Every structure is written in C-alpha cells, then in structure tokens.
C-alpha cells in the first residue's frame, strides 16, 4: 500500500480533536470545516462539551460524528457531576462520549468506584458510543493496562482509549498491544482509540499495522478504530497530496 493510500485510510479513522485550554467557538467551527473539507472526511470531531451545539450546527448534513469529553482531563470528578455533564452533552447533540476512567482510584485498588463510573455513564449513553480513556501512559506497568482495559470493557465501554493527551506520556505501542489483546478475547465488538502524541504518517502506520496483525486486516474501521489527534490531520493530508515529507506537524495532541 502506498503512503498516500495509508494516509487516506488513517484520515477516515481520525477523531479530529481540539481540547486546548483556550479553545473557542470559532476554533470549533474551523475544526468542523477541516473535518469535511479534506481528501477524505474524518470519522469524528472531538471537542469540549460547551462546543457540541456549535459543532452540531456546523456539521449539519454531514456524516462526521461529534464526540466530547467528560470527567476530563484528570478523571477525579465525582460521579454525579459527570452524569450531569454527560446528559448535557447528549442533549446538545453529542454522538459519542469520551469518559476518563477514574484511573487513580483504579491504581489505588478502588475498582468498584471506577467500574460504577463507566456503568452509569454508559447507561445514560444508551446506543451512543462510550469511549473510556484509560490514561495508560501514567500506569506503572502493562499489567495495570490489562486490568483497566478488562474493567472498562466489563462495565460497558464500546471503545477503550489510551490517553487524554494532557499528561507527559500518551499512547504507546506496548499499551495498545495489551489493549488489543483484551479486545481480541472479548465476546462482543469493542473498539480501540490510540490518542495523544500521534503526529506523523509513520506513527499512524505503526498502530494500524499492529491492529491488522492482531485483529485481522479488515478489522480497523470507523466503528472499531479511531485515532485521537489534532496535528495528525496536517501530516495525513500532506501525504495524500504528496506535498510534504512525513515530519511532525504543529499541534500538541
């Protein structure tokens, strides 16, 4: 497969993201414009809950989905405010909720509280997708990644996602390999979302190659696999156009 073909494949799996602390409504509209104006429409945009209604208006008539984040970025908000945040986002038109797992509680042995958060948010999501952010870069070892993945899946996650992009360490191949192993052993469809620090075509190809090797070459589709990224968009479009080498673009996510 050529670099351009790989880039087109990856672009169609992208959750184009703006979770900057200084994000604006105008920036959200620009994100939506880019989501539909590239060589291939992206799978979704991912933005703060306060911009969901803006995105819903901007993306009217398109198939690009709207994702937003709750319990973000720290994962330490009590369950009641997280439920209210989820309800508000869904009422505003969100198609997908990216929930930060209470990972510090999990690492401290409080698995019941972590599972309850996932279960309750999924109950409110209903048929809409729930992606659970594990924050794998902060875990002391890969066994904890496995435990968190299994807990999130058992509690009702539709996707498991590596990272918020707000910590020093984000997505990694070893963590994703463990997460795919859990998905492969699950008796219902579960998706994967590597996110944070994925900025080049080479980065994207490494994760797609791993997914293909683990799950089969036909598995990764928008319903089962997403990239969470901001700067990756520029690199993929450049690779499709043949206008620039595969160098890290601007963007922190």
> All domains of the chain, ordered by start, with CATH?
3-241 (3.20.20.70)
Averaged pLDDT, 176-185: 98
Which two three-digit tokens encode residue 191?
């998706």
When pLDDT is cut at 50, 70 and 90, the band that residue 244 belongs to is low
Output the pLDDT for position 246. 46
Only one residue has tokens 């052993």, namely: 185
The dihedral over CA atoms of 155, 158, 160, 164, expressed in degrees to the nearest 10, equals -100
pLDDT given at position 247: 46
- Report yes or no: 145 and 172 within 8 Å, Cβ to Cβ: no
Tokens at 51, concatenated: 């911009």
The values of phi and psi at residue 104, to 5°, are: -65, -40
Candidate list 144, 193, 205, 246, residue with the active-site label: 193
The mean pLDDT value for 160-176 works out to: 97
List 15, 18, 95, 98, catalytic entry: 98
Told to judge if 193 belongs to the known catalytic residues of this protein, a careful annotator would answer: yes
The question of whether 98 is a catalytic residue gets the answer yes
- The Cα 15–Cα 225 span in angstroms is 10
* Residues paired with residue 192 on neighbouring β-strands, in sequence order: 160, 225
Q: Span 229-250, mean pLDDT?
A: 79
CB neighbour list of residue 94: distance below 8 Å, 6 or more residues apart: 49, 52, 66, 67, 68, 128
Q: In whole angstroms, what separates CA 60 from the centre of its chain?
A: 22
Q: What is the pLDDT of residues 15-47, one digit of tens each?
A: 999 999 999 999 999 999 999 999 999 999 999
pLDDT for residue 249 is more than 90: no
Contact between 202 and 246 (Cβ < 8 Å): yes
pLDDT digits (tens, 9 = 90+) for 52-108: 999 999 999 999 999 999 999 999 999 999 999 999 999 999 999 999 999 999 999
Tracing tokens 């330490």 back to the chain, one arrives at: 76
- Does residue 161 have an active-site annotation? yes
What percentage of the chain has pLDDT greater than the value 90?
Answer: 95
CB 39 within 8 A of CB 241: yes
CB 105 within 8 A of CB 82: no
- Residue 195 gets which letter from DSSP? B
Given the residues 161, 203, 205, 246, select the one marked as catalytic.
Answer: 161
The model's pTM is: 0.95
Cite the beta strand spans of the chain per DSSP E.
14-18, 44-47, 65-70, 96-100, 129-133, 159-161, 191-193, 227-229
Read off the pLDDT of residues 107-157 as tens digits, 9 standing for 90 and up.
Answer: 999 999 999 999 999 999 999 999 999 999 999 999 999 999 999 999 999
Q: What one-character DSSP code corresponds to residue 193?
A: E
**pLDDT value for 243:** 76
């Amino acid at each position: 497969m050529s670099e351009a073909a790989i880039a087109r494949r990856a672009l169609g799996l992208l959750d184009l993201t703006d979770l900057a602390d200084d994000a604006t409504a105008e920036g959200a509209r620009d994100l939506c414009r880019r989501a539909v104006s590239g060589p291939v429409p992206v799978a979704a945009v991912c933005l703060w809950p306060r911009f969901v209604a803006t995105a819903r208006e901007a993306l009217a008539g398109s198939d690009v989905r709207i994702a937003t984040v709750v319990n973000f970025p720290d994962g330490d908000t009590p369950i009641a405010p997280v439920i209210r945040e989820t309800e508000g986002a869904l009422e505003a038109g969100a198609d997908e909720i990216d929930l930060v797992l209470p990972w510090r509680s999990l690492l401290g042995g409080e698995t019941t509280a972590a599972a309850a958060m996932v279960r309750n948010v999924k109950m409110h999501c209903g048929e809409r997708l729930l992606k659970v952010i594990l924050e794998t870069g902060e875990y002391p070892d890969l066994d904890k990644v496995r435990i968190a993945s299994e807990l999130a899946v058992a509690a009702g996650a539709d996707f498991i996602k590596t990272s918020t992009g707000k910590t020093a360490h984000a997505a990694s191949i070893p963590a994703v390999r463990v997460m795919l192993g859990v998905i492969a052993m699950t008796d219902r469809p579960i998706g994967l979302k590597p996110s944070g620090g994925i900025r080049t075509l080479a980065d994207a190809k490494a994760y797609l190659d791993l997914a293909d090797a683990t799950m089969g070459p036909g598995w990764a589709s928008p319903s089962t696999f997403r990239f969470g990224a901001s700067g990756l968009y520029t690199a993929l479009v450049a690779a499709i156009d043949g206008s620039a080498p595969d160098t890290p673009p601007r963007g922190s996510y």
